[in-house]
Structure formats: C-alpha cells, structure tokens
Amino acid sequence: MTGTALTRRGLLAAFAATAVVAAPSYSRAAAFLRGAGDIRRLRMYSGRTGESIDTIYWIEGEYVAEALKEINYFMRDWRFNKTIPIDPSTLDIMAAAHNLLDTSEPYLLLSGYRTPKTNAMLRARSRGVARNSLHMKGQAGDLRLKSRSVTQMANAAIACRAGGVGKYRRSNFVHMDSGPIRTWIR
C-alpha cells in the first residue's frame, strides 16, 4: 500500500503544479458536487494563525486522507488548538463555489471548527451565532474573498444546491455549511 500512497502523493504534486480547474457554470454546480470533474482543490489562508493551505483533497472519485487531515488541522478551533474531522461535503460546497467564482484568490477562513466553549463565547458577543452551530460539528466555514462581493460568493454557494448559505453583509463574509438547504441574510 505504500506504493499507492506515494503514487497518489506524486499525482497530488503534479496536479497542484500543473492543473487548471475549469470553472463550471452555475447550471453545472450540482453535477460538480455529485462527482463531475477529476480533482477538487481548496485554497485558503487564516489571518488568525498566518497559515495557508493549497491542497487537492479529492482525485477521480476518492478523497485523499492526507489532504483531509491537513484541512482538519487548518480549520481547527485556533483558540483551543482543537480539531475534528471536517465534513467533506462542506469542503465540496466550498470548492465548487470557489470554482464558480472563477478566481485564483484563496479564501480567507474566518471560522471553521468551533469548540462548544468558543461558540458560547462568540454567541455571547453576537446575535448572529447559532446555539447549535454546525461549526461545532465540523460542517461549516465562514469565508471571505477580497475580489468578490458577499452577494457573488453567496450566489455561487446557493447555485450548488447543497447546504446552508448565510450572507453577512456588515461583517463581509459568507457562511457555507453542509446542513439542510437554506439561506439567510444578516
């Protein structure tokens, strides 16, 4: 099995260096989530930790375990340095929306996984934080792009027809999650 892992890792390096992912149209967003396309990639950075990630986490129908572990760590609750597995469906929504936006700019991750303690602290500070937030289950991300508006980002996520999408215009970010399909504006 080691040979398979090395081959897959080699493919990752080759794809990361040379692949250009075609941006699907809004009408093809749902198909993208069901498995169309050969690779899925996430590019993000965190202003809180100073970390960046640029990884291909899905190749030809299979999630790449090493890449998912890297994403889990990157999206950790940085206040307590705690990780849980991030729902791959959440990653798929984020990646598909990013492709629809046709930008190479990485997402700024504002919030990924939150411990219950972090969620309670944020909830005490803001009415916009849900008591049973999907962030605590590893099923949500709050994201921003400098090159795209909140409306553009939200429309791309909504076009995926998967999960929840929240527009936070005053705070300039979009919430994407793998829960029930729904939208809201704050």
- 161 vs 141: CA distance, rounded Å: 16
The predicted model scores a pTM of 0.81
Q: Is 64 exposed, middle or buried (0-12, 13-18, 19+ CB in 10 A)?
A: buried
- Residue 142: closest CA among 176, 103, 183, 178: 176
Tens digits of residue pLDDT in 25-83: 444 455 555 544 589 999 999 999 999 999 999 998 999 999 999 999 999 999 999 99
Asked if residue 57 lies in contact with residue 40, where contact means CB atoms within 8 angstroms, the answer is: yes
